[in-house]
Amino acid sequence: MDSSQDDFPASLMIKNDHYCELRYGENPHQTAALYADPTVQEANVVSALQLNPTAKELSYNNYNDSDGALNLIKEFKQPAAAIIKHANPAGCAVAKTISEAYAKALSTDPMSAFGGVVALNQECDVKTAEQIVSSFKEVVVAPSYTEDSLAILRTKKNLRILSVGELNSPSVILVEKPIVGGRLIQQRDLSSLSSKDLKVVTKLEPTPAQIETMLFAWKVVKHVKSNAIVFATGTETVGLGMGQVSRVDAVRLASIKAVEHSENKTPRGAIMASDAFFPFPDALETAAEAGISAVIQPGGSINDDAVIDAANNLDISMVFTGTRCFKHD
């Protein structure tokens, strides 16, 4: 998306309507409320219908995680599912059916998915609902639900069931972060890559299948807290490393998750997506030890040549996107 100073007004007036009081904020000692923006036209969790009459009200954290989960699955047109915990994906997958996508997303890290928020980009059916209720989840977000799937989901009396309607085009272009003394305003990251945007920088070129996985993993890593690493095979996550202050530690965490927490998955032969460049070859070397075969990353480090040399020596194919996708909130 092109940016210009003209996108930002000289003064900013924000009018949101008081929607409801929340039980508490991020923590029980913090009071909180939800305010709604009536001008938003795209699918969102604030105006979503809650379809389980026995469930308790959504919490501050429920809203935050549900919003993050919905934003992630909006990236995909084919059946996609994601599970979010503490504002980070525990797993994400695209498949031929929504039930298959959910199963693959869950198997990335079933332990971390416990108590998480599920988001689907297509109507929830019976098979998917049966899988969801087989373990504890806080919230399910989907465009719609079949009547039979609703009956299954409602057997969990406190499961919040949000129907957001059609996943239409984004209408919110600017996003904000309040800070003490003001607000940070920026364009929402709606960037999308195609194979034409990828620059192969290694002697070994990625296969068409690897490129497909790279593009999938790039969409996921946009929604993982920085420093962020995603391991993926096909169109499903294998391991995720998030929120680390060292990129090599994010790689180590993704490897641990893939080896110790996933079900019937392996990092061997997987691709790795990184939300920012590698400042040193160490992260790439650590990824190679885990079995990573290809890498997608922005490039742009003063040490790019050393990282490329390491990839060539390790027989890893690597592409640069020329675009970074940090996420800190």
Q: Give backbone dihedrals phi and psi of 293, rounded to 5 degrees, phi first.
A: -110, -20
Residue 4 in this model has a pLDDT that exceeds 80: no
Measured CA to CA in angstroms, residue 298 lies from 10, 277, 283, 301, 318 at distances of: 33, 5, 14, 9, 10
Bridge partners, 274 (sequence order) = 229
- Through-space distance between the first and last CA atoms of the chain, rounded to whole angstroms: 20
Residue 296 in this model has a pLDDT that exceeds 60: yes
| Mean pLDDT value of segment 42-66 | 95
- Choose between 3 and 250: higher pLDDT: 250
Q: Positive or negative, the Cα torsion across 267, 252, 107, 44? A: negative
| Mean pLDDT value of segment 164-182 | 90
Residue 11 in this model has a pLDDT that exceeds 90: no
Residue 174 in this model has a pLDDT that exceeds 60: yes
Residue 3 in this model has a pLDDT that exceeds 60: no
| Mean pLDDT value of segment 162-177 | 90
CB 238 within 8 A of CB 270: yes
Which pLDDT belongs to residue 1?
A: 44
Nearest one of 215, 224, 279, 234 to 257, comparing CA atoms: 224
Which pLDDT belongs to residue 172?
A: 82
How far is residue 45's CA from residue 141's CA, in Å, rounded to a whole number? 8
Which pLDDT belongs to residue 284?
A: 95
Q: How many CA atoms lie within 13 A of 175 on its CB side?
A: 11
Bridge partners, 49 (sequence order) = 163
| Mean pLDDT value of segment 142-146 | 98
The continuous run of DSSP H or E covering 66 comes out as helix 60-73
Residue 2 in this model has a pLDDT that exceeds 60: no
Cis peptide before 303 (omega within 30 of 0): no
How far is residue 197's CA from residue 201's CA, in Å, rounded to a whole number? 13
Nearest one of 325, 323, 88 to 224, comparing CA atoms: 88
Question: 27 pLDDT band (50/70/90 cuts)?
Answer: very high
Residue 31 in this model has a pLDDT that exceeds 60: yes
Which residue ranges form the domains of the chain, and what is each CATH number?
A: 17-163 (3.40.140.20), 195-320 (3.40.140.20)
- Choose between 89 and 172: higher pLDDT: 89
Question: 68 pLDDT band (50/70/90 cuts)?
Answer: very high
Q: What whole-number percentage of the chain has pLDDT above 70? A: 98
Nearest one of 256, 325, 264, 255 to 292, comparing CA atoms: 255
Nearest one of 320, 313, 260, 312 to 290, comparing CA atoms: 260
For 293-324, letters b (16+ CB in 10 Å) and e give: bbbbbbbeeeebeebbebbeebebbbbbbeeb
| Mean pLDDT value of segment 291-298 | 97
| Mean pLDDT value of segment 158-173 | 92
Q: Positive or negative, the Cα torsion across 251, 320, 71, 118? A: negative
Name the average pLDDT for the chain.
94
Q: What is the pLDDT of residues 229-274, one digit of tens each?
A: 999 999 999 999 999 999 999 999 999 999 999 999 999 999 999 9
How far is residue 329's CA from residue 310's CA, in Å, rounded to a whole number? 32
Question: Which residues contact residue 77 at a Cβ distance below 8 angstroms, ignoring those fewer than 6 apart?
Answer: 121
Cα–Cα–Cα angle for 229, 212, 43, nearest 5°?
Answer: 75
